[in-house]
Amino acid sequence: MKNQWIHTFSGTVKVKLTGKGIERFLNQLTRNGVSIWNVKKHGSEAVTFYVNLQDVKKLRIPARDSNCKIRFLERAGGPFFLRKLWTNSGFLAGAFLFLALMILLSNMVWGIEIKGASPATEHQIRKELDRLGIGVGKLQFSLDSVESIQKELTDKVGALTWIGVELKGTTYHFQAVEKSEPKKAEVIGPRHLVAKRKAAIYKIFVEKGEPVVEVNDYVKPGQLLVSGLYGKEDDLKVVAAEGKILGETWYTTKVELPLKSTFQVYNGNEKKKYSIIVAGKDLPVWGFGKPEFSEYETEVSEQPVRFFRWELPLKVGKKTLREREQVTRIYSKEEAIESAKDLARKDIKNYLPENAIIKGEKILHQSIENDKVKLTTHFTIIEDIAEGQPIIKETENDRRLKNDGNTTSEPN
């Protein structure tokens, strides 16, 4: 009959009817609007048929009036299936818990492998991983993304040039590339040391060669400082001049600093939300409701759910809402000038070699215009001003440079 599948959900019963008044019984059921189907005759006084579970009570009166006996043979459909499930609920709960446990274990960290790192660097990496909360037994959903872990390790472990981070199943794989040892000093050919910028000689440290300038001499770019030629004119020896010639050099910087500035900062408050992502739709599971703060930035990450090696068509979404607030910084005139000085020092260091020293500083110009402090600062720097210049061939000019090396010139 049509729509018989509906009866499967509501429940069906197979009935066997015996007696002499079978036809009278079936006619009365039809008049009462009771649906029966698959009616089969078994001899002259027996018949079987199916009826809805909800109509079973309607069979008693017609059976009594027709002197027939009813026997229920089979029960099927939703209500009986649910009853069986309830009867065996212990097995069902056990199977569900086993499946949930397997999924949970498949999404935990069970191994950390580090390759390419020395024992000392590996110890630093593992120490940093502990600080990040990454270890055996941790849920992958609660950890930072692979990209964030890679950035943190590169920034915090100084011995690393690069580190690759990959999550395979339940194991993190780290491939480290350490900074290479300093290269051996290259063989340097015969050379002079000459000045690379205008300066006043401050100190002289010569390892090889013959100095041709003295302390307090003024030199120009390209002027000879240490000669790679020494000895008598008829017995000159050629060497690669080496040493440090510290010179007093001069720089000027200009900086501007507003008296009032507004910027956004994080204040440390945050709220985390977790959800299950199915077919691109989020189903929230933790962290309901809106955050208590109104100004915030949201960081979103997704972690696939695994069952052993396989990725399930599910993902765990993580949203971190970090509160931010607007801060207005207002300097007094004195504070602005001091901050501008610090800014000028930081600026000048970007142009200096690593071992340079700031000897002195002097403010040449200072003003406040349009709510900005404008500062022009003159710096006196002590730095190595020597650079190598290959000796191609000894000429008369070389001898003249050597003999006239102590000649000084005033800076512009």
> In this predicted structure, what is the pLDDT of residue 217?
93
Say yes or no: 38 and 165 in one domain: no
> In this predicted structure, what is the pLDDT of residue 216?
92
pLDDT band at 411 (very low <50, low <70, confident <90, very high): very low
> In this predicted structure, what is the pLDDT of residue 387?
92
β-bridge pairing 46-52 and 68-76? unpaired
Domain assignment present for residue 103? The answer is no
Q: Between these two residues, 408 and 256, which has the higher pLDDT value?
A: 256
CATH number at residue 52: 3.30.70.260
Domain assignment present for residue 406? The answer is no
Domain assignment present for residue 91? The answer is no
Q: Between these two residues, 90 and 409, which has the higher pLDDT value?
A: 90
Say yes or no: 235 and 266 in one domain: no
Mean pLDDT of 247-267: 88
Domain assignment present for residue 312? The answer is yes
pLDDT band at 2 (very low <50, low <70, confident <90, very high): very low
Which of 155, 178, 201 is the endpoint of a domain? 178
Mean pLDDT of 371-388: 91
| Residue range 21-64, pLDDT digits in tens | 888 888 888 888 888 888 888 877 888 988 888 888 888 778 77
Tell me how many domains the chain contains.
4
Q: For residue 344, give both structure tokens.
A: 């000028």
pLDDT at 207 over 50: yes
Mean pLDDT of 343-362: 88
Say yes or no: 206 and 345 in one domain: yes
> In this predicted structure, what is the pLDDT of residue 252?
92
* β-strand partners of 251: 379
Domain assignment present for residue 409? The answer is no
Mean pLDDT of 226-238: 81
> In this predicted structure, what is the pLDDT of residue 257?
87
Which of 305, 329, 353 is the endpoint of a domain? 329
| Residue range 93-151, pLDDT digits in tens | 888 888 888 878 888 888 899 998 888 888 999 999 988 888 888 888 788 888 888 98
Torsion, CA 311, CA 313, CA 314, CA 317, rounded to 10: 90
Gap between the Cα atoms of 373 and 369, Å rounded: 7
Secondary structure string (H, E, C) spanning the chain: CCCHHHHHHHCEEEEEEEECCHHHHHHHHHHCCCCEEEEEECCCCEEEEEEEHHHHHHHHHHHHHCCEEEEEEEEECHHHHHHHHHHCHHHHHHHHHHHHHHHHHHCECCEEEEECCCHHHHHHHHHHHHHCCCCCCCEHHHCCCHHHHHHHHHHHCCCEEEEEEEEECCEEEEEEEECCCCCCCCCCCCEEEEECCCEEEEEEEEEECEECCCCCCEECCCCEEEECEEEECCEEEECECEEEEEEEEEEEEEEEEECEEEEEEEEEEEEEEEEEEECCEEEEEECCCCCCCCCEEEEEEEEEEEECCEEEEEEEEEEEEEEEEEEEEECCHHHHHHHHHHHHHHHHHCCCCCCCEEEEEEEEEEEEECCEEEEEEEEEEEEECEEEEECCCCCHHHHHHHHCCCCCCCCC
pLDDT band at 381 (very low <50, low <70, confident <90, very high): very high
| Residue range 387-403, pLDDT digits in tens | 988 987 644 455 555 55
> In this predicted structure, what is the pLDDT of residue 181?
59
Mean pLDDT of the chain: 82
| Residue range 276-305, pLDDT digits in tens | 888 778 888 888 888 888 888 888 888 788
Say yes or no: 8 and 146 in one domain: no
Q: CB count, 10 Å around CB of 221?
A: 12
Say yes or no: 246 and 370 in one domain: yes
Say yes or no: 163 and 55 in one domain: no
Report for 86-95, 183-192, 216-225: range of highest mean pLDDT: 216-225
> In this predicted structure, what is the pLDDT of residue 408?
41
Domain extent for 22: 4-76
Gap between the Cα atoms of 104 and 140, Å rounded: 10
Say yes or no: 40 and 141 in one domain: no
* Amino acid found at 48: T
CATH number at residue 117: 3.10.20.310
Say yes or no: 319 and 335 in one domain: no
43: left (phi over 0), alpha (psi -120 to 50) or beta: left
Which of 128, 146, 178 is the endpoint of a domain? 178
Q: CB of 358 within 8 A of CB of 345?
A: yes
> In this predicted structure, what is the pLDDT of residue 397?
52
pLDDT band at 247 (very low <50, low <70, confident <90, very high): very high
β-bridge pairing 111-115 and 171-178? parallel
- What percentage of the chain reaches a pLDDT higher than 90? 16
Q: Between these two residues, 197 and 277, which has the higher pLDDT value?
A: 197
C-alpha distances out from residue 370 to 107, 134, 233, 254, 257, Å: 59, 51, 67, 16, 11
Say yes or no: 340 and 323 in one domain: no
pLDDT band at 383 (very low <50, low <70, confident <90, very high): very high
Domain assignment present for residue 191? The answer is yes
Domain assignment present for residue 405? The answer is no
Say yes or no: 142 and 34 in one domain: no
- Give every CB contact of residue 393 below 8 A, 6+ residues apart in sequence: none
Say yes or no: 233 and 359 in one domain: yes
- What percentage of the chain reaches a pLDDT higher than 70? 91
Say yes or no: 279 and 254 in one domain: no
> In this predicted structure, what is the pLDDT of residue 182?
59
> In this predicted structure, what is the pLDDT of residue 393?
60
Domain assignment present for residue 92? The answer is no
